[in-house]
Amino acid sequence: MKSSAYAAIIFILAVSPSHADSCDKSRSYLFGGLGGDLTLPPKEYDDLFKRCLTTASMTNVKDVYMLKDGGLAVLPKQDTLAATAATLSQFCDAYPRATLHFLTKRERTDDKSLADIVRIRSTSSTSCQKIKGVAE
């Protein structure tokens, strides 16, 4: 095995169970067919799950969920402009072609079930490609 594979295994084991639990629950929900037809190939959801686990370990992330459209939804620990910007910067540095959606106060109260959360569209959020100016 390559050293990067060892690092990935150690990282996954080091992620807080409560954070990884939301990643696992949302993946199980999507793959279990409860979220309806998947819009992306299964490999992309596997990659999304890995990004979810990594995102769960970020400083300002209280919880993170996989979204059906291929984005990630984050519940921040601190809902301030500075904390959100730092988290978004860290995420976009790691995943320049991904999208991170911060759950709004309305989504946190209206979308309490996992079913509602995984159906949130990340298209309302600016992609890291646009933020970083990366060509599509």
pLDDT tier for residue 65 given thresholds of 50, 70 and 90: very high
> What pTM was estimated for this model as a whole?
0.79
- Give CA–CA dist 70/49, Å, rounded: 10
Query: Would you list the domain boundaries of the chain?
Result: 37-132
Residue 136: pLDDT band with limits 50, 70, 90: low
pLDDT at 104: 86
pLDDT tens-digit profile of 16-48?
444 568 999 999 998 887 666 788 898 999 999
User: How far, in Å, CA of 27 to CA of 77, rounded?
Assistant: 22
- Give the model's pLDDT for residue 15: 42
Token pair, residue 61, equals 């992330």
Residue 71 has what pLDDT? 94
Q: How confident is the model at residue 92 (pLDDT cuts 50, 70, 90)?
A: very high
Amino acid in position 68: K
Percent residues over pLDDT 90 in the chain = 48
Of 12 and 89, the structure prediction assigns the larger pLDDT to 89
CA distance 9 to 26: 21
Q: Please tell me the distance from the alpha carbon of residue 102 to that of residue 121, in angstroms, as a whole number.
A: 11
Q: What does the mean pLDDT of the chain come to?
A: 82
Distance between CA 128 and CA 126 in Å, rounded? 7
